[in-house]
Amino acid sequence: MSTVAPAPKPSRLHAVAVVLSSLVIPLPLLTGRLVEAVLDTINPADVDTTQGLAYLSQILGISFGALGVLLVVIVVILAVLYRRAKTLDAIALPLLVLAIQIVVGIVSLLLTGLVDRP
């Protein structure tokens, strides 16, 4: 009688990779809103914060910086997972989630550009 061995339980690092991959869109949005709220509250440059573009460069810089750090962390974790398992199956789910997030983000930006065009 042969028995099939159960599949190994995914590691915590795998779970972290999946969660971080799912934050590619929400993290920059949340970071941008937090920076906007702080800058609008303290208003260090004493600008008219009722204007929609007040502190835009600071908001975009910090948001894209957070996205860049997140992507570097994801790549490092995926590399560690791949080196441990020596198979792409170990990183398939985080890669799929990451790819979906990137595609949705790009499509969202393109559709925003089309809708906002005069």
pLDDT digits (tens, 9 = 90+) for 3-47: 765 656 678 999 999 999 999 999 999 999 999 999 888 988 888
DSSP-assigned states of every residue in 9-66: PPPHHHHHHHHHHTTTTHHHHHHHHHHHHHHHHH-TT---TTSTTTTHHHHHHHHHHH
pTM over 0.85: no
Token representation of residue 46: 């004493």
**What is the percent of the chain where pLDDT is above 90?**
58
- Mean pLDDT on 59-87: 94
The arithmetic mean of pLDDT across residues 62-67, rounded, is: 95
Distance, CA of 79 to CA of 66 (rounded, Å): 20
Mean pLDDT of the chain: 88
